[in-house]
Amino acid sequence: MGGINTSVVTLDWAMAEILSNPRVLKKLQEESEGVVGKERMVGVEDLPRLPYMKAVMKETLRKHPPGPLLMPHCSTEDCEVSVEEEGGAEETYTLPKGTTMLVNAWAIGNDPATWDEPEAFMPERFLAPARAHVDVRGQHFEVLPFGSGRRICPAMGLALVMVESVVASLAHCFEWAVPCNAGDMAEKYGLTVSRRAPLLAVPVAFRLSKTFDKQTCHNY
């Protein structure tokens, strides 16, 4: 399930949401121009200075975690788990030793009790003071695309850098024709949740300066 597939699925969802929301694409382009300019491509060293791009990726992983169910866990002894139900009431469940448990990462990220308008794609929610500290690296249980604890996804750091670099570069370098199926957010279910219809996106213009050295592309 891991490796290339989950990164490709995340990239597909990210670009579909970006192209379906022109204001998001415009903000990404304005941010990268302010940080990088038009004389070169976005580099890995630029990523920490692109907070809106990072918010876009957090929102993508919140709304579309590539693995909807995290790796199964088995209780090594009898234990109790307390869950807050609707209305604020707390329910306690007893899990006997040997119980196999699955964490539904999709349900966590799309829970209306935690997220306002969870069906909407709003990267700005991760820039607001109340959510600015929330990350996807397993420290905040409102969004857990990679899991948490000792069995968190071991390739999380590499995956984030890779997908962030691609998304930032695609937005920075090109103007895009909005594909006819960009707004089709129907899901195809499996070990990963991909788009039912693969995104067909066409770059229509190169945005960087005419003085941009195309040879630089080969160095990235």
pTM to 2 decimal places = 0.88
Q: Which domains does the chain have, with CATH numbers?
A: 4-69+104-219 (1.10.630.10), 70-102 (no CATH)
Percent of the chain with pLDDT over 70: 93
Neighbours of 104 (CB within 10 A): 14
**pLDDT reported for residue 220:** 46
Mean pLDDT by 10-residue block, N- to C-terminus, for the chain (220 residues)?
79 94 96 95 96 98 93 91 79 93 93 94 96 93 92 91 96 88 81 87 88 54
**pLDDT reported for residue 73:** 87
**pLDDT reported for residue 185:** 86
Q: What is the pLDDT of residues 18-32, one digit of tens each?
A: 999 999 999 999 999
Give the integer Cα–Cα distance in Å for 202 and 175: 9
